[in-house]
Amino acid sequence: MLPSLPELTGSARVVSLPLRQPFRGITSREALLFEGPQGWTEFSPFVEYDDTEAASWLEGAIDFGWLAAPAVFRSRIRVNATLPAVEPGAVAGVLDAFPGCRTVKVKVAQLGQVLADDVARVAAARDYVGVEGRIRIDANGGWNVDEAEHAVHALAGFDLEYVEQPCASVEELADIRQRVKYMGIPVAADESVRKASDPLEVARAGAADLLVIKAQPLGGIRASLDIVAATKLPVVVSSALDTSVGISMGAYLAAGIPELDYDCGLGTAALLAGDVTSSPLIPVDGSIEVRRVEVDAALLDRYAAPVDRTEWWLERLERCHALLAGRT
């Protein structure tokens, strides 16, 4: 059942958490938290997303707050470090916040930068992790097919684990996957799964070798597990600059997948300069715990969003709740 709007707003708190460095153009992360029968949960679609897309994030938040998590196969999740589009000289400082992580996901194709910037950043990341470390790159759909092919050739010498969402559309992903297949570099799909009206299309089209999935935007842990089962592709469970509450949701999703061959993108709380709990889910020896997070009232107060932003989020919550009510 869909909880009533008062059940959601009764405990709702909106926070604005500062980032250690800019990430994809933002310097703080806003999120709305509320408490359900199972504990605290998070509603945090990015502010530019429309209500239709954001409603799926609310569905995921309700799933985690109102339903017990499915059975788990592990109590800790190995995670990757996430490297924003920083200058090479800043790479070590960022990666120091991810102790024990053997894998680095490097953001590339940043607006306003060029391929040479990506090469220098990936080179610095490879120097940091050494020859035994793993490097994956994420373009967030920022290249066309020709640009992606050129970039993969330029970066292949750094022994890439895979390239994530090099192009925006499913058709482009299928094309670039065929172009680089002989190089042995897998293609991963992220936005083509979580932002698609049909998250299974990318698998049916043979456009990816693995999927990057996020619990909240896909409508929750159960919906995400259904996608994993239907596609039969390897997956990486990731996050979207969540608070530790949202990271907890992702950790339970990752723990519920029988075979988890890749390190997961659930270490991003290390990119935050503040959190909502005194026991954040940050990497320790390259992994995070699978556990629910208790929020700290003092931290909710410290990072409380301004009144106008709180009102904006509560109005968004109301609109998305109405959309979910219409679906049911």
Instruction: State the average pLDDT over residues 322-326.
Output: 97
In whole angstroms, what is the distance from residue 268 CA to residue 242 CA? 7
Give which of 321, 263, 313 is closest to 56, Cα–Cα.
321
Residue 138 marked as a ligand binder: yes
pLDDT in tens, 257-313: 999 999 999 999 999 999 999 999 999 999 999 999 999 999 999 999 999 999 999
Q: Which residues pair with 135 in a beta bridge?
A: 104, 160
Q: Which CATH superfamily is domain 5-68+300-327 in?
A: Enolase-like, N-terminal domain (3.30.390.10)
Sign, Cα dihedral of 62, 67, 69, 71 = negative
- Binning pLDDT at 50, 70 and 90, where does residue 194 land? confident
Q: What is the domain class of 76-289 according to CATH?
A: alpha beta
Q: How many CA atoms lie within 13 A of 311 on its CB side?
A: 3
Is 214 a known active-site residue? yes
Q: Cβ distance 62 to 86 under 8 Å?
A: no
In whole angstroms, what is the distance from residue 249 CA to residue 33 CA? 13
Q: Cβ distance 256 to 73 under 8 Å?
A: yes
In whole angstroms, what is the distance from residue 100 CA to residue 208 CA? 29
Q: Reply yes or no on whether the pLDDT at 144 is more than 90.
A: yes
Residue 285 marked as a ligand binder: no
Residue 190 marked as a ligand binder: yes
Exactly one of 105, 181, 195, 214 is catalytic; name it.
214
What pTM, to 2 d.p., does this model score? 0.96
Q: What percentage of the chain reaches a pLDDT higher than 90?
A: 95
Is 232 a known active-site residue? no
| Domain chopping of the chain, boundaries | 5-68+300-327, 76-289
Exactly one of 107, 181, 195, 232 is catalytic; name it.
107
pLDDT at 25: 83
pLDDT in tens, 71-80: 999 999 999 9
Helices (H), 96-187: 115-129, 145-155, 170-180
**Residue 157 burial by Cβ neighbours in a 10 Å radius (0-12, 13-18, 19+):** exposed
Q: Which residues pair with 83 in a beta bridge?
A: 106
